[in-house]
Amino acid sequence: MAEKLNGNLTGIRNTMLDRIRSIYDIKMGLDEFISPEAIELLASCSSEINREISVYIARDGEVVDISVGDSNKVSMPSMRLVRNEDRLCGVRCIHTHPSGDGRLSDVDIGTLRSMKLDAMAALGVSEGHPTQFYCAYLGEPDEETGAREALIYGPLRPHKLPQHALIAEIYASDDRFRSSTKAVEEAEAERAILVGMDNDEGYDTLKELGDLAETAGALVIDTVRVRKRPIDNATYIGSGKAEELGLKCSALEADLVIFDDELSAIQLRSLEQILGTRVIDRTTLILDIFAARASSREGKLQVELAQMRYMLPRLLGQGTALSRLGGGIGTRGPGEKKLEIDRRRIRRRIFELETELSEIEKQRGLRRETRKANRIPLVALVGYTNAGKSTMLNALTNSDVYAADKLFATLDPVVRQVTLANGTEALLSDTVGFINKLPHDLVSAFRSTLEEVSNADLILHVVDISCPFHDKQMKVVNEVLSSLNASGIPTITVFNKCDKLTDDSDNEISDLLPSVSALNSDERSTAVVSAVRGDGMQELLRMVELKLNSSRREIEVLIPYSKYEAMSLIREKGMLLSEEHLDTGTIIKAYLDEAEIGQLKKILQIEI
C-alpha cells in the first residue's frame, strides 16, 4: 500500500510528516469505526500543525488515503474511488476540525453525497485533545428533489464511541442506497455551476450561458460572478477564487463547472485539479449542443470538424517536451508518445473531414449555379439564436419546419419556396442562429453553409425585440455578417415577437414602428411582426418584393420569334414574370435593370 501524504504539506517538518504517515500503520478492526489510537494521533498532529487532516478507511479497516488541508478547508480525497451507481464507495472519511467545533459543514455533507462515502465524520480538536465527534450517513432520497438527506449522529464522546453501532449504520446506509433507484434516475441531469466575469457591456452573458446549459440538459445549481480582473494564465479566476469555488462544488455536489469564456489547456487542467470536478468552457458547451442537434450528414461533419480543431491545441500534456518527433537531446526514443499519437490522429481526421466537406461544397456550388441560371432570388433568414427564424419561415411559406423556443433549434439549412404578391417566386433559406462569443472553429467549419448568406439577394435580419439586449444581439449578428463579407447585401431588419411587448391585442403593428425606426435610417427596411401570430407577414412579403426589385423595372414587351436572343437575355439576366405566345411572337412581363433593358433595346430596335 502506498503511504503517500496528499494535500498541503508546505512548512511541515519531516518528523511531523512521519508521525502523520504512521497512521497508515494502524489497522481498524472489522467492527471498529476508528481506533482510539488513531483518534489520539490524529488530534495531536492536527493540533500541532493547526491544519485539518483527513483519513480515508476502507471497510476492511485499512487506511487507504491521508490528506492534509488548511485549518478551515476540507481536504478532498486524492485517490479515485471506484463507485457503482447503486452502491456506496466502500470508504469512510474521518477528518479533524482544529477549531474544536466538531459539527459537520455543508462542504462535509456535500462531499458525503458527491463521493457516495460510507460515512463522513468530523473530530473536533482543542489543545491537542479530541473534544467532539460527529458522524453523517446517507439517508433516503427526497421525494421531490431526489437529493439524499444526511443522517447525523452527535455530538459523541471521542473516547467512548459506539463503534459497533457506527459500523452497523454503514451497512444500513448501503442497503438504503441499493433499495432506491430514484437517485440513479435523477443522476441523468448533470449539476452545473456557471462561472463568469462581470463585463461593462450591460449584457448578461451568464444568463445566456445558463440557457445554453439547460439546452444541453444540465441542471444549473448556482452562478458565480467574478469581479473583473486581469485573466490568470493558470486558473483564469485566480488560485484563491478557484479554491473558494472548489468548496462550493463540494457543498453543492456539482458534477460540472462551466466557464463563460474560452479556456486554455493549462487553465482547464489546473481548474480540474483544484475543483475536483469536470470543467468545460462556453465553446465546448456550444459544440456539445451542435453535436446533439446536427441531423444531416453535412451538419454532423461540420460539427465534428469544429470539435477536432478545438481539441487539437488543448490536448493535455507538456507540449514539445513530450514529443519524440521534435528531435534533439532528450526527445529520441523507440516510438511516439501518446500525446503525439493523439495529435497525429486528430490531424488525420481533420484532413478527412475537410475532404468530405469539400466534396459536399462542390455539390452545393452546382445547385447554386443552377439557381442563378433560373434567376430565382434567394432570401436568407439570419439572426441571433432563438429570434424566431424557423417560425417566420413557416409563417411565410406555410411549411412545418421544426421550430421551438430553445437555443439552436435549427442547425441544418432549410430552403423553402415562397410566392410574392405579384407572383414572383423566391427561395427562403433558414440558417443556423448566431450567438455571442460564437466559437471561431464553428464559424470556420460552417463557412460553406454560411456562404449561402453571402450569395443571397436579400437578407432578413430577424431580431427578438422582446429581449432587453436585442441591440447587443444585433451587433453580434452584424459582426458575423461582416466576417462573411455579407454586410453589403440589401437587408430588411425584422423585429419579431412584438406579441410579447404588450398584452393589448388592439395595438396596431404600425404603432410600434416609430419606436424602432431609429435603428435603421431607411424605414422601408424595417418591419415589426409577430411570426407566431402572423401579424405583419403580408406587409413583410411586400417589402421583400420591393427590395428584390428595387434596382429593376417591370417591362412588358412583344418579342418576335426571330429575336430569340432577346428571350435568352431575359431568361438569363432578368426575372421572368409571365409569357403569352401569339402568332407574331411572345408577350413577356419581366423585371430587368436599366443595363439589361438597354441591351434589350439594341436587340429589338424599339423603345421600352
Q: pLDDT by residue (tens digit) across 422-461?
A: 666 788 888 778 888 877 777 777 776 677 788 888 899 9
Backbone angles phi, psi at 450, to 5 degrees: -70, -20
pLDDT higher at 358 or 423: 358
Question: CA angle at residue 470 from 469 to 471, to 5 degrees?
Answer: 90
pLDDT at 41: 94
pLDDT in tens, 323-336: 434 444 434 445 44
| C-beta neighbour count of 514 within 10 angstroms | 10
pLDDT at 188: 57
Radius of gyration of the chain measured on its C-alpha atoms:
34
For residue 489, give the DSSP letter.
S
Greatest extent of the chain over all pairs of C-alpha atoms, in Å? 117
Could you tell me the pLDDT band of residue 131, with boundaries at 50, 70 and 90? very high
The answer to whether 34 and 62 are in contact (CB under 8 A) is no
Mean pLDDT computed over every residue of the chain: 81
**pLDDT at 190 exceeding the cut of 90:** no
pLDDT in tens, 287-305: 888 888 777 788 788 888 8
DSSP-derived 3-state class of residue 528: strand
Max mean pLDDT among 120-124, 473-477, 560-564, 582-586 falls in 120-124
pLDDT higher at 162 or 344: 162
Distances (CA, A) of 357 to 289, 303, 343, 446: 20, 11, 21, 10
pLDDT at 397: 86
For residue 574, give the DSSP letter.
S
All cell numbers assigned to 268:
482547464
pLDDT at 43: 94
DSSP-derived 3-state class of residue 569: helix
Direct distance between the N- and C-terminal alpha carbons of the chain, in angstroms, rounded to an integer: 98
| C-beta neighbour count of 591 within 10 angstroms | 22
DSSP-derived 3-state class of residue 367: helix
The answer to whether 121 and 112 are in contact (CB under 8 A) is no
**pLDDT at 56 exceeding the cut of 90:** yes
What is the average per-residue pLDDT within 171-186? 66
| C-beta neighbour count of 154 within 10 angstroms | 16
pLDDT at 592: 81
Peptide bond connecting 230 to the previous residue in cis, omega within 30 degrees of 0:
no
**pLDDT at 180 exceeding the cut of 70:** no
Closest alpha carbon to 275 in 235, 227, 226, 311: 235
Could you tell me the pLDDT band of residue 337, with boundaries at 50, 70 and 90? low
Residue reference for cell 477536432: 308
**pLDDT at 505 exceeding the cut of 90:** no
What is the average per-residue pLDDT within 251-276? 89
Distances (CA, A) of 607 to 479, 534, 567, 582, 604: 45, 43, 16, 20, 8
pLDDT > 90: percent of the chain: 25
